[in-house]
Amino acid sequence: MASCDRREFLSSVAAGVAASAVAGGAAADAQQGAKAAPAAPAGGLAPLAFTPLPVGAIRPTGWLLRQLRIQADGLTGHLDEFWPDVGQSQWFGGTAEGWERAPYWLDGAIPLAWILDDAPMKARITRYIDFIVTHQRADGWYSPYPEDAVSKRYDMWAILLANKVLVQYHEATGEERALDAVAKSLKAILAGLDRTPLYGWGKFRWYEGLVPAYYVYERTRETWLLDLARKLRDQGVDFEALFKTDDIQRPTPRRGLWKWTKHVVNTGMAAKAAGMNWRLDRRPGDKAFASAMIELLDRAHGQVTGMFSGDECLAGRNPIQGTELCAVVEFMYSLEHLFSVFGDGAFGDRLERVAFNALPAAFAPDMWSHQYDQQVNQAQCTINPDHLWTTNGPESNLYGLEPNFGCCTANMHQGWPKFASHLWMRTPDEGICAVAYAPSRASFKARGVAVTVSLDTDYPFREHLAISVEAERPVAFPLVLRVPAWADGATIRVGSLPERRMTPGSLHRVDREWRGKVDIALRFPMKATVTERYNEAVAVERGPLVYSLKIDETWTRVNADRPHRELPHGDFEVRPAGPWNYGLVVDPARPEQAVRFEERPVGEQPFSPQGAGMVGTATGRKMPTWKIAHGWAAEISPADVAWSDPSRVVTDEPDETVTLIPYGCTNIRITEFPKLRPR
């Protein structure tokens, strides 16, 4: 469809609705960046602090490329080939589930396939998208839905998700039919919400509908799209009001009451709602709440990994309560949005903490199986009828194909690909910003000049990062570097210039004319810290990584009689093959000296016990009274540690040297340790 025809089409979609003149709106170029959208009119969306590059403009290298290749060779790259809920979905013309699961899978599979330029995956996805677009009805509703999806009561959530998927496909490919389909769907939603207001999942996930609405608006300037955004917000849950209630701050009782308001995946998604709101109205309260919401979650439910607990519902700070993988990937996407909207480096810090710890820990190293719930203190993963989850079931922390519910099997794929595609963002003044750090290469144009910026590093396992900027011809633009808040003593050297200090927690700007290739050396010193956590236990951190006890493990296949459990995508229990019940010996005057670190090569499977790129050693003692209870490592009690009473002997076991590896490299682990005094 020619661009003039497309404008006519969009005008017909918006008939009867006041609209601004259409300007620009050309498709994104995946290698050089999207063409500029027209300037926002008065009263339009607030501009982004930093603008993400189009899908495919950032290419992974080094360990990140290996990690994404593992994902493509694992469940993500093959799920549609054998799992009926995706491969035979009604979205693709089949007879299986026709609601959220196929769009969920596409939401991660699209960026993965185009980032890796994986031809077989791209071909299959293109066929699926083509089916969705060509089978959209003339009234704008997609084919899996009865009539117009509002004349018969139907939860709007999956439509919001499908539109988010289609704009991502448009960004990756420039396929205008996908964008046109979204515009038709959004117009149908605008009218349909008057007849059937949001309810159920759609009511709690209304902000997901703003992602495609904003995307289309920024390419068309059709103001009815902002009317739709406000209507979704007005009919959806007010999370700022919700988070003022005492109920949010209380852990859900074990085997307790399921609540929409405390659902952990809703919460992970909703973290971006304030940023989406702010773009509509520029309300200062929205900007403040974006950070306040995360701070409240930390206080009431925070885990050392940067996540909050939620084994279906928010579950408190106890390290044996779980966190759903769906919540991890959704919270990461929210943090990527929040950094883009507000430009606050704290969101980048949190994104790295979650991405390098909670995300990989929920997958087997080969990414052929995953957990529904992970635990910070996870001594074993078994079928456990005696569990103490809030509302999840006995198989929730197996490594498997679809433990507990299949929604995570569908939704888990977006974590690594979206992280990779948000490593770099554009500044408002033609520059580039390092949002998070992983080996990668980004291509863009600054003032019409082709530029490539590359990062060569084994960060987060190392503290040295080498950036190179290469411009086709001399051009001036800023390079903005996020300096982690923990990086005391951070330094930068640009070319042959003297080394300079950088301020932790800042966005460091390098303003200059770039000629040829310029090398930049960064150092983010990583100092070990020992922090006090739940019930006076301690955790070890270094830079963005959390460290856990390395436990010998035994994997046992289970559920082999169930459909689609053929190897390698089977279900597995993991049990300790050695001791796990250690306390950590910590000198209260010098806790940072409790652990010594040694560099190791980053493995072919970067997040595996064997592939850990940094290993720590510490002094520990076995605690024979710390046992398995209810199928889990028992809860640590302050009375068991008695830190405040030096005369009490908690354990008379001898001192041993214990090995600590990054949390994300573990399958079973102890992370929050009872703290023991030196003898």
CB 413 within 8 A of CB 103: no
Q: Does the pLDDT at position 440 exceed 50? A: yes
So what's the pLDDT on residue 41?
41
Q: What residues are paired with 595 via a beta bridge?
A: 618
The phi and psi torsions of 470 (rounded to 5 degrees) equal -130, 115
Q: Does the pLDDT at position 342 exceed 90? A: yes
Please compute the mean of the pLDDT values over residues 68-80 and round it to a whole number.
Answer: 98
Please compute the mean of the pLDDT values over residues 266-284 and round it to a whole number.
Answer: 97
Q: Does the pLDDT at position 37 exceed 60? A: no
First to last CA, the chain: 77
**SS3 per-residue string spanning 199-264:** CHHHHHCHHHHHHHHHHHHHHHCCCHHHHHHHHHHHHCCCHHHHCCCHHHHCCCCCCCCCCHHHEH
Please compute the mean of the pLDDT values over residues 546-555 and round it to a whole number.
Answer: 98
Global confidence as pTM: 0.93
Query: pLDDT of 482-531, one tens digit each?
Result: 999 999 999 999 999 999 999 999 999 999 999 999 999 999 999 999 99
Please compute the mean of the pLDDT values over residues 404-412 and round it to a whole number.
Answer: 96
Query: pLDDT of 187-231, one tens digit each?
Result: 999 999 999 999 999 999 999 999 999 999 999 999 999 999 999
So what's the pLDDT on residue 25?
29
Percent above pLDDT 70 for the chain: 92
Query: pLDDT of 416-429, one tens digit each?
Result: 999 999 999 999 99
Q: Which domains does the chain have, with CATH numbers?
A: 74-236 (no CATH), 424-523 (2.60.40), 528-676 (no CATH)
So what's the pLDDT on residue 256?
84
**SS3 per-residue string spanning 100-142:** CHHHHHHHHHHHHHHHHCCHHHHHHHHHHHHHHHHCCCCCCCC
Least confident of 287-291, 434-438, 557-561, 565-569: 565-569
pLDDT band at 8 (very low <50, low <70, confident <90, very high): very low
Q: What three-state secondary structure class fits 158?
A: helix
Please compute the mean of the pLDDT values over residues 604-629 and round it to a whole number.
Answer: 96
Q: Does the pLDDT at position 17 exceed 80? A: no
So what's the pLDDT on residue 567?
85
Residues 6+ apart with CB under 8 A from 368: 74, 75, 568, 569
Please compute the mean of the pLDDT values over residues 594-603 and round it to a whole number.
Answer: 95
CB 256 within 8 A of CB 313: yes
Average pLDDT, the chain: 91
Query: pLDDT of 352-370, one tens digit each?
Result: 999 999 999 999 999 999 9
Closest listed residue to residue 169, CA positions, set 107, 117, 222, 85 = 107
